[in-house]
Structure 1
Amino acid sequence: MKLFDLGFEPEEVITHPRHQAAQVDLVPLIERVRACRSPQDGYELQQDLLRRILEVEDDRNAFSKAVKRMRDGKAPQVGAPEPQSGRDPLDIETWILERELCERVSRQFRSIGDALAWRAFNHDRRYILALCRNAPAGIMAGKAGLKAELETVENHWRDSGQFALMHDLTNCLRIGDITVWEDDGPHTYEIKTNSKYRNTVQERRIATAYEAVRTGSALPGDNPGERLHDIDAPLLTHMELLQIATQRASKDGIFAAKAPGSRALIAVDLHGVISQRWTPEEYGQRLARQWNAARRRARIGDQLDLNMHATSLDSVSRDPLRVPWGIYPLHPVAAARLIGDVMTFVVETSGPSLAADLTAQGIPAQWVRPPGTDDVAAGEVVMEMHSQADWHAPNGLTAKLTRTLQLRRSEMDRYLIELLDQDCWAAGIRHLLLSPNTSDRPWPVFRNEGDTWL
């Protein structure tokens, strides 16, 4: 977490009045996302979310200006928001803490925007995968084109009763400015203050994204091998284990267990930890004992430098590929605690054990990541899977089809953090290995995701 890297203690973050207020606000916002049934529901929720994010970002801009002034030996500007931490206002670290807390809280609210986007797209991951492929937008407050975007939202609502979602309220929608749900489905637009100046590059990326969803053609970007592939099987997960984990951790502080598919899971809830009245030493000992026991039960504790994990910690609205916690099938309070890092969970696997599981299912696999405890880099290959099969062409000829799939960090992260059922996951891999139409860099999409996410 960036705040910890800057030298601030977790207690300073979690107990900060702004952070605690956000925790209270998140629960009803999550409930409203889940209750959205009409364009009016989406429009009203977006207006509320917009107000909250702009308020936080206005404060963040002001704190950032104060930090710059103090670094130049000046006092904070007149009218700067008052720090809420209780720290010394003459210390620049006080203002840095306030600035970074605003960044955290704005991301937490954007995770609600991500949840609203998933719900508006009816949990169709293809649209998210296609429209996330740009750099993040940055701060809304003070944005030059904000007025034009707001007018577009209002015009669609006033004239047609259509819901128009502003992408800047999300992290997962990065191509285009607004998506409008019209009579024939969603349409994404680039909005300009002056209509004479079109952004043809972004318009092409929008068109490419929608063509990729419709036909399976290349996704936006430089690699034509990156394509969506529909897996003709429903998405299956072990969300019931995460439900148990969050419930138990909220009461007991720590919950650890073996998870199906050569995985172990641990959840920690700060409110539950506090209720146990453990000393820091007792907490550390219990955490290590329960986590190591879960690893042993999952048979992944023998060589930890060959293990790989995914964590919920400080993850909201950073990775556009992550499903937002707000639509996980969890109690709204548990979802809010995950968003705010009041509760965290980790899922871990052994690379060689996972490769052995796939091999036992008839998918020869090899863990290729060398031993080490460093975080996996974006795009890094961690496992390779192989296949060889006969393919019967329409002209009566038979060909040998051989293929190697490389598993990278994003797909491994999904297997872990979404607790995908291993048989379901293996079926998707088998489909990609055996299909003659699989591209060099496939993005698999299972069916019926709405049955998993709320």
Structure 2
Amino acid sequence: MGWDIRLGGLDPAVTSQVMRHPEQVGNLAVVTRLLERFDAAGHDGDELHDLQAVLYRVSYRAQRAADGIGRALHRVEVGKGPDWPPAAGQESIAFAAPHWRLRCAADSRDVEEWRLERWVAERVIRQLRAVGDALAWRVFSYDRRAIVALSRNDPPGPFWKKAGLGYELGALNEIRERRGGFVLLHDLTSVVRIMDLTEVEASGRRLLREVKASNSPSATAKARKQIKRAERLLAAIDGAEALPGEEAASLWRAQTQFRTHLRELAPLLDHAQRTGAATAWIGGRVVGALHLPVTAQRAQPEERWSAYAAARGRLLHRHLGAGTTLHRLRGVSADTTGRDPATAPWGIYPLPAHHRAALICDYLVLETFISADDIAREFRRLGLNAAVLLPAAHESFDSRSEIISVTDPRHQRRIVLHGAAVSQLLMEFVHTDRLIQASTEALRLLHTPGHSLLIYSNEPPAWY
């Protein structure tokens, strides 16, 4: 069975066990410390290298544990004992210390207990990759075009037993010794899925590196294929080619400047951390935050949840009530870490490290609501025809969902806003007028950009 299972698809009792698992709780502290080091490092190559070394070690530990848990689960499923912990050399054991803490007994023969262990291990791996994603965004100067383009490959698998890992680490260290600077190991990210390394030169130029494990014909052919694909992806960054993949999508950067309400979130999250929950009206959206550990510690957590739901309901009625209830759009942070390369990772949000870590690890849940009808109304004020395409009372959508159709009656041009643009509006708190300006800009082009991913201009300052 697959392991890409969302918390929302699990029984609430199982979800509670996942969130209370000692490794999941411990990973919150690990991710917080890593993000604090990330903040302190800035663009210092030595500091980033030291951070990456720590990230490599904790990721290695989690991946090694996940492999052993998967083996134990398989054994239990066929009626054998779990044989935990797995056999390993002393050097591997020392590097992966401390020992992985199970919630179940080491000799348990309960399949569901081992499945829960596997879910937790996979979540920890994904959460650690989120720190690697923050590193990648910094390395590529917060240029979303580069991140989206370089993510157009199969998702990364575990690296801890990868055949060519030693060669990659050797190449990384050799580059460091010869030229200094920082070298990003792609295996630690979920977003850079092409080539093996990115070298950041003193000039700021970034070089993609493919490392061959041998000079065999097959290794040479594989490296040549990766290089050709990288060349296509780099051409797509500037819009010279469409992105490789099933859809002939292209990256289109509007002249519209990127602006967000992200820095207004900190007081709301601080309040949620003190009381367990908080709601607010921020930038034309209803926003709610739940701090699950604080809520769980309350004598009556159900009452706290009810109070939160009531406060959220009052804000929804006041701001998104009459005339707009049919098309409220909802975004929620829960279990979204590392799932969409086109979305900025929580690790780079301009928030304190402990809030970002709590979002990554799902101990802090953020939800936002906005009215699709209000967005359509703003387009109409500009003399454009706009219609909401979602079914009535439809809050949920995915990146491919058609949300709003906008037509310029004067020039007979039409664009459709899909879920990807709306998700960015909701979860990155982009100013609504920026989406409208960028969309209007696309309509006014002599040749509209077709199926494209919207990239705003001047994005980096939002994440500094």
Q: Secondary structure at the match of 1:198?
A: helix
- Point out the more displaced range, 418-427 or 3-12: 3-12
Is contact 2:421-2:454 (8 Å) kept? no
Structure 1 stretch displaced more, 160-169 or 330-339? 160-169
1:342 corresponds to which residue?
A: 363
* Match of residue 289 from structure 2: 267
Q: Which residue does 1:120 correspond to in 2?
A: 139
Offset at 1:303?
A: 6.3
Counterpart-to-counterpart distance in 2, 1:283 and 1:163: 47
Normalised by the length of structure 1, the TM-score is 0.90
Stretches of structure 2 lacking an aligned partner (at least 5 in a row): 87-98
Q: Is the 8 A contact 1:347 1:416 kept in 2?
A: yes
Instruction: Identify which of 35, 39, 50 aligns with 2:45.
Output: 39
Is the contact between residue 300 and residue 350 of structure 1 (CA under 8 Å) also seen in structure 2?
no
Q: Distance in 2 between matches of 1:284 and 1:307?
A: 21
> SS at 1:268's partner residue?
strand
Separation (CA, whole Å) in 2 of partners of 1:209 and 1:144: 26
Task: Give the structure 2 partner of residue 103 of structure 1.
Answer: 122
Measure how far apart 1:222 and its partner are.
4.8
Match 2:102 to one of 46, 59, 84 = 84
Query: SS in structure 2 opposite 1:25?
Result: helix
Q: Aligned partner of 1:233: which letter?
A: T
- Amino acid in the other structure paired with 1:57: Q
1:269 & 1:372 partners in 2: Cα distance?
27
Which amino acid in the other structure matches residue 24 of structure 1?
A
Determine helix, strand or coil for the equivalent of 1:9: helix
Q: Does 1:190 align with 2:210?
A: yes
Q: 1:252 to 1:364 in 2, by over 3 A?
A: farther
Q: Is 1:403 the counterpart of 2:413 in the alignment? A: yes
Q: How many residues align?
A: 440
Q: Is the 8 A contact 2:281 2:315 kept in 1?
A: yes
What does residue range 213-292 of structure 1 map to in structure 2 within 5 Å? 213-214=237-238, 216-224=240-248, 226-261=249-284, 263-274=285-296, 276-280=298-302, 282-292=303-313
Matched with 1:433 is 443
- Look up the equivalent residue of 1:30 and give its one-letter code: L
Q: Which whole-Å CA distance do the structure 2 matches of 1:419 and 1:378 have between them?
A: 16
Show the counterpart of 1:17: 22
Check 1:144–1:129 CA distance in 2 against 1; reply closer, same or farther (3 A cut): same
The answer to which of 151-160 and 330-339 deviates more is 151-160
Per-residue CA distance 1:333-357 (angstroms, 9 max, x = gap): 1111111111001112232232123
Q: Residues 385 and 409 of structure 2 are in contact (CA less than 8 Å); yes or no, is this contact kept in structure 1?
A: no
C-alpha contact (below 8 Å) 2:239/2:252 kept by paired residues: no
Question: Is the CA contact (8 Å cut-off) linking 1:192 and 1:198 kept in structure 2?
Answer: no
TM-score by length of 2: 0.88
Equivalence for 2:390: 369
* Secondary structure at the counterpart of residue 219 of structure 1: coil
- Relative to structure 1, the CA distance from residue 374 to residue 65 in structure 2 (aligned partners, 3 Å threshold; closer, same or farther) is farther
The change in CA–CA distance for 1:357 and 1:188 in structure 2 (over 3 A counts) is same
In the alignment, is the contact (CA less than 8 A) between 1:306 and 1:351 conserved in 2? Answer: yes
Partner of 1:211: 235
Match of 2:161?
A: 142
Aligned to 1:175: 194
Change (3 A) 1:32 1:362: farther
Q: After the TM superposition, which of the residue ranges 338-347 and 128-137 deviates more from structure 2? A: 128-137
Listed one character per residue, the Cα deviations across residues 10-44 of structure 1 (whole Å, up to 9, x for unaligned) are 33122211111111111121122222322222222
Amino acid at match of 2:460: G
Q: Which amino acid aligns with 1:365?
A: A
8 Å contact 1:300–1:349 — kept in the other structure? no
- Give 1:304 deviation, angstroms: 5.0
| SS at 1:60 equivalent | helix
Shift in CA distance, 198/158, structure 1 to aligned 2, threshold 3 Å:
farther
Alpha carbons of structure 1 residues 129 and 82: separation in structure 2 relative to 1, 3 Å: closer
Secondary structure of 1:244 counterpart: helix
Question: Could you say what the CA RMSD is over the residues aligned between the two structures, in angstroms?
Answer: 2.3
Secondary structure (helix, strand or coil) at the match of 1:376 reads coil
Cα 1:302/1:345, change in 2 over 3 Å: farther
Q: Which residue of 1 aligns with 2:328?
A: 307
Which ranges of structure 1 fall in alignment gaps of 5 or more residues? Answer: 390-400
